[in-house]
Structure 1
Amino acid sequence: MASRLVPNVTSKQGEPQCKEKHVVLLSPVGKLKISGCETGVHEIKLPQMSVLPSGWTEPSAACEVREGAEELTEPLEQCTAWLRAYFCEPARTASLPVPAFHHPLLRRDSFTGQVLWTLLRHVKFGEAVSYKQLADLAGNSRAARAVGGAMRSNPIPILIPCHRVIRSNGQTGNYGGGNLMKEWLLSHEKLQKEKLAY
């Protein structure tokens, strides 16, 4: 795929643009479209799931880069390695580096950025928190609705695990990749965590 120039999301006006690269990773939930540059990952676009993948309780070991392998920058390489491990060997994710991010929501000093970083740092594989609990962790216990907005704005789903944020009543709530995908990701983590406990 051809690269294209986009504004450097961390730059001030007048600084150079970054060269965006694209890669497609085939995963058990479909094709994940990942974009980024030499500085970091810009975005992960999820496919919309209308049905659960066959064999969905046990993800396929097939998780490979389908497009853009020749364009892998270090952050994109780290991102695809992390995602492959997440789907196929979840125990490895803890030892893999999280790629650098290069998106304005994750760089500026905003509540959304603070919530996303809090989620990444504090809610681990196989865990779930409510919107209110995440608001508490981010330092504003009355901002559960704003946390919901931050989850909708998350440019790097799965890696920044917005699927782990659920309603206080235990219902999964909405998700950018669709509710089936959110349920699949939560079930995948629960199953893998149980396996690791043995």
Structure 2
Amino acid sequence: MMIYTVLPSPCGPLRIEANDEAITRILFLDKPLAATAPASPLLAQTCDQLNAYFAGELTRFSLPLAPAGTPFQQQVWQALLTIPWGEKRSYRDIAVAIGNPRAVRAVGAANGRNPIPIIIPCHRVIGANGSLIGYAGGLTRKRWLLDHETKV
């Protein structure tokens, strides 16, 4: 059974979805919505950790995650989890890290399909020349997240 809550954030409202055991999805919402009370201890813990992240008090999440995706996407998302707070990697860096240096475009596609942004830090992946390239939540949000992690 899927449950969810809406959390206001500096990046706009976030819809956080979970099953009984893990976080399954975070969606950036473009329309303001009222916050909802977390329907489970897991959602409450997730909101607490996200609020601490946005306050600059948390640099690594410790939540059970269950993103749905192909084995390749799962491999890419696991590699994203190793990027430290405030650091960036290129798509090529991720391709090399997963042992498939020719898969740069496939890494980009998997990065763009990350269903749990912020917690699985796909915003930390940039172009080889240092440019911001794509972000499912929009480049404004990506820039904000990267700036937030370098200011704190």
> Taking structure 2 as the reference length, what is the TM-score of the superposition?
0.91
Alignment-derived partner of residue 136 in structure 2: 176
1:98 to 62, 77, 86: 62
Q: Residues 1-198 of structure 1: matches in 2 within 5 Å? A: 19-48=1-30, 66-69=35-38, 71-74=39-42, 76-90=43-57, 92-94=58-60, 98-105=62-69, 110-120=71-81, 122-192=82-152
Q: Residues of 2 paired with 1:22 and 1:98: CA distance?
A: 18
Deviation at 1:30, TM superposition (A): 1.1
Report how far residue 111 of structure 1 moved.
Answer: 1.4
**Any stretches of 5+ residues in structure 1 without a counterpart?**
1-18, 50-64, 193-198
Counterpart amino acid of residue 168 in structure 1: A
SS of the residue 2:35 aligns to? strand
Answer yes or no: is the 8 Å Cα contact 1:78–1:98 preserved in 2.
Answer: no
Equivalent AA in structure 1 for residue 79 of structure 2: T
TM-score (norm 1): 0.71
Measured after TM superposition, the shift of residue 104 of structure 1 is 2.5
Indicate if the aligned counterparts of 2:92 and 2:104 stay in contact, CA closer than 8 A. yes
Deviating beyond 2 angstroms after TM superposition, the runs of 4 or more aligned structure 1 residues are: none
Structure 2 residues not aligned, in runs of 5+? none
- Aligned counterparts of 1:34 and 1:124: Cα–Cα separation in 2: 23
The number of equivalent residue pairs is 150
- Answer yes or no: is the 8 Å Cα contact 1:32–1:45 preserved in 2: yes
- Retained in 2: the 8 A contact 1:42–1:103? yes
> Secondary structure of 2:93's match?
helix
Instruction: Say what the alpha-carbon RMSD is for the aligned residues.
Output: 1.8
Alpha-carbon distance in 2 for matches of 1:176, 1:190: 21
Q: Which residue of 2 aligns with 1:14?
A: none
Amino acid at match of 2:77: L
One-letter amino acid matched to 2:35 = R
Q: CA deviation at 1:173?
A: 0.4
**Identical columns (%):** 38
Amino acid in structure 2 at the alignment position of 1:72: S
Which residue number corresponds to residue 54 of structure 1?
Answer: none
Write the distance in 2 (CA, Å) between the matches of 1:46 and 1:34.
9
